Amino acid sequence: MAAQLTCVTAINDLPDVILSNIIAVVSDVRSRNSASLVCRKWMVLERSTRSSLTLRGNVRDLIMLPTCFRSVTHLDLSLISPWGHPLLSPTAVADPFLIAQLLHHSFPAITSLVLYTRSPLTLRIFPPLWPNLKEIKLVRWHQRPQLSAGEELSMLFTENCPKLHSLDLSNFYCWTDDIPVALESHPTVAANLTSLNLLNSSFSEGFKSDEISSITRACPNLKEFRVACVFEPRYFGFVGDEGLVSIANNCPKLSVLHLADTSALSDARGDRNDEGFTQEDAKFSASTLIEVFSGLPLLEEFVLDVCNNVRDTGPALEILNKKCPKLRLLKLGQFHGVSMPIESKLDGVALCEGLQSLSIRNVGDLNDMGLIAIGRGCSRLTKFEIQGCKKITMRGMRTLASLLKNTLVDVKISCCKNLGASYSLKALEPIQDRIQRLHIDCVWDSVEEFEDLDGYGYGFDLNVNDGGQGSSNSAGSGDTFECEEDAFTFKQQKRCKYEKVNSHANGHSGRSWDRLQSLSLWIEVGELLTPLTAAGLEDCPNLEEIKIKVEGDCRLWSKPSGREFGLSTLLYYPMLSKMHLDCGDTIGYAHTAPSGQMDLSLWERFYLLGIGNLSLTELDYWPPQDRDVNQRCLSLPAAGLLQECVTLRKLFIHGTAHEHFMMFFLRIPNLRDVQLREDYYPAPENEMSTEVRADSLSRFEAALNRRPISD
């Protein structure tokens, strides 16, 4: 019998147009790199569809500059090695004008640029290379050059950037005086701006009221405005009624408005037992807020995070819902009266039914009933953050989770007196199989037996129940039942359900957190991570990323409460591959500690013990610091423990390290990307130190690149 020929169609047989569209939607960098290795055709299609690129090589290796990414429109040059050193300077190894021309030749279509700008020469040379530049983000953690106010930014504005419409200075250390002067001196550039980001945490003080008025007056076409402000009434020029109203009057097209006090940007953790009220009130009223909302009908995102009390804000937030129908994101700090329902009537922020993201911080009078009203009214929430609200309990949080179980996937619970780790996780059980991103505080409490379950509607769950027919009243009048028999049946089902829950030894239902992909934890210095699984996070089969922030003063401890922090506990999570371990706010003695105290090297050993047992591929690590000498340096024990992470491919240390400690990392077989980033203010200036010297870093990178890598 003659052999029958069968025709097999492969993906490579697709037309180039379709195959190009398929590759274009792939966002993961490693996946795109793998696709480009299939064949020459795929390589050409991948290169032609890549729109964003971050360069990480050493500026000395110009011969390795890629020339095949001609379609890239977004270029990030802020992470070029050695990190933080001037990219273009008269003392550079290569001619700065040659470097600039080679970059322009390799990437001719750039419209969005990110630059580390330590030298003014960078701003003088780069912008004219790309006349179609529309977006610029400047990065700098080092000291500002000794120039007059506004002179540095004027170099950017006076060059050929006629199409510039977005300027991001959120990670660019400068003076607040620089911004208004530069914008007022170049009215054409300022008038073209539609996005301006000035939320810079390195400012010692934010922008004053007159500076904000000058900026918004110079940029009348802004659609996105983010700025750090001075709201403290004790300071001259604080932002009050006049400053807020000037924003709405000068920039009526705003769709994104973020106003935050510098203390809120520092993310400093408050006292867990604080009641949420400050001694002084902010100097703007609810009527001012109503005027602002009325003048910004296109608002989609609104952040007002202040450091003093803003009282009786409920009526203003009701107006916000009416005047800004497109509002989707809302973040409020130190606002009081945001939700104070009377019986079943919703009020305040609970009437903002279109919200998809809500964050509230230090709301002193928010209780469980107010939280439940938010759950009833804001039924589209996908993200909810609550911080520093002392009256919230597990009952209220659990009911909110029940009401929003069809939409809520991102939750942050922080610094709430009655919501430690176990209570927070218990409260989130209704969305345990749906939540994707979670932050909790590692304050180890224990879940007590449930309270009286005889009352129907445990936890005030007004819309969702297992037995009775919930009310369909949009006003949220509570659960109703057609007869007493229905009510009795409902109570019995509730009793059986929670008796089953309480039958578990650890107080948890034993269900899996199936969709949880990212977990963020805060833990006080000296405490252990080992109770994490017992608190209710034992089964997270798809957890890929964990962020741990350790905060506190080691000098108050003679030694930690255990031999090791407990990173081995994370072995329960089989898919865990990325970790952020942030000890940057852990304070101690970098050098010789007093008698009876441990220096930072021993504390680093405590926190990193067991990290080699994890199958991590990416690690961001912030060493602890000694503020007295402004030092965040990787110690010998830390370097020795990090080299045990044999699966690592990327390692970013947000601090400094000696060259011979860095050489330890050459023993990690598949390590491809290592960098020291002093991305904190003030970054070290002394480049003669062995920790930050460019030659030392270049020698390590050269040794790293010489190694053969299997894949």
State pLDDT tens for residues 230-265.
998 888 889 999 999 999 999 999 999 999 998 888
Which residues fall within 8 angstroms of residue 247, CB to CB, at 6 or more apart? 212, 216, 225, 254, 257, 259, 292
Burial class of residue 140 in the structure, from the number of CB atoms within 10 Å of its CB (0-12 exposed, 13-18 middle, 19+ buried):
buried
Taking the C-alpha atoms of residue 30 and residue 32, their distance in angstroms, rounded to an integer, is 5
pLDDT at site 511: 77
Tell me the whole-structure pTM to 2 decimals: 0.87
How many CB atoms are closer than 10 A to CB 237? 14
Taking the C-alpha atoms of residue 21 and residue 651, their distance in angstroms, rounded to an integer, is 33
Taking the C-alpha atoms of residue 238 and residue 248, their distance in angstroms, rounded to an integer, is 17
Q: Is the dihedral of CA 376, 379, 382, 384 positive or negative?
A: negative
Dihedral angle over CA of 583, 589, 590, 593, nearest 10: -140
- Which residue has better confidence, 656 or 62? 656
pLDDT in tens, 169-219: 999 999 999 999 999 999 999 999 999 999 998 888 899 999 999 999 999
pLDDT at site 562: 82
Buried-exposed string 85-120: b where 16+ CB fall within 10 A, e elsewhere? bbbbeeebeeebeebbeebeebbeebebbbbbbbbb
Mean of pLDDT over the chain: 85
Going by pLDDT thresholds of 50, 70 and 90, the confidence category of residue 652 is very high
How many CB atoms are closer than 10 A to CB 442? 20
pLDDT at site 233: 87
- Which residue has better confidence, 551 or 631? 551
Going by pLDDT thresholds of 50, 70 and 90, the confidence category of residue 26 is confident
How many CB atoms are closer than 10 A to CB 22? 13
Q: Is residue 443 pLDDT above 50, yes or no?
A: yes
Going by pLDDT thresholds of 50, 70 and 90, the confidence category of residue 120 is confident
Bridge-partner residues for 196, per DSSP? 167, 225
Q: Is residue 111 pLDDT above 90, yes or no?
A: yes
Q: Is residue 484 pLDDT above 50, yes or no?
A: no
pLDDT at site 596: 81
224-229 and 195-198: which strand pairing? parallel
Which residue stretches of 303-411 are H helix?
314-323, 368-377, 394-403
Residue recorded with tokens 């345990």: 432
Going by pLDDT thresholds of 50, 70 and 90, the confidence category of residue 464 is very low
**Mean predicted confidence (pLDDT) in 403-418:** 95
**Mean predicted confidence (pLDDT) in 415-422:** 92
pLDDT at site 160: 66
Nearest to 385 by CA among 402, 352, 362: 362
Q: Is residue 474 pLDDT above 60, yes or no?
A: no
Q: Is residue 135 pLDDT above 70, yes or no?
A: yes
**Mean predicted confidence (pLDDT) in 443-472:** 45
Q: Is residue 88 pLDDT above 90, yes or no?
A: no
Burial class of residue 629 in the structure, from the number of CB atoms within 10 Å of its CB (0-12 exposed, 13-18 middle, 19+ buried):
exposed
Q: Is residue 660 pLDDT above 70, yes or no?
A: yes
pLDDT in tens, 677-703: 888 887 877 654 555 577 788 888 888
Q: Where are the beta strands (DSSP E) in 2-160?
A: 52-54, 74-76, 112-116, 135-140
CB 126 within 8 A of CB 155: no
Nearest to 532 by CA among 517, 548, 514, 553: 548
pLDDT in tens, 492-524: 444 344 334 333 434 455 679 999 999 999 999
% of the chain surpassing 90 pLDDT: 53
pLDDT at site 702: 85
pLDDT in tens, 343-382: 888 999 999 999 999 999 999 899 999 999 999 999 999 9
pLDDT at site 711: 65
- Which residue has better confidence, 648 or 474? 648
pLDDT in tens, 564-599: 999 999 999 999 999 999 999 999 998 888 888 899
Angle value at C-alpha 593, between 588 and 597, nearest 5 degrees: 80
CB 51 within 8 A of CB 135: no
Select the highest-mean-pLDDT range: 447-451, 501-505, 599-603: 599-603
Taking the C-alpha atoms of residue 177 and residue 149, their distance in angstroms, rounded to an integer, is 6
Nearest to 219 by CA among 256, 180, 245, 255: 180
Q: Which of 96-100, 243-247, 297-301, 563-567 bottoms out in mean pLDDT, i.e. has the lowest? A: 96-100
135-140 and 166-172: which strand pairing? parallel
Going by pLDDT thresholds of 50, 70 and 90, the confidence category of residue 92 is low
Phi, psi for residue 181 in degrees, rounded to 5: -60, -45
Taking the C-alpha atoms of residue 168 and residue 194, their distance in angstroms, rounded to an integer, is 11
pLDDT at site 159: 63
CB 533 within 8 A of CB 425: no
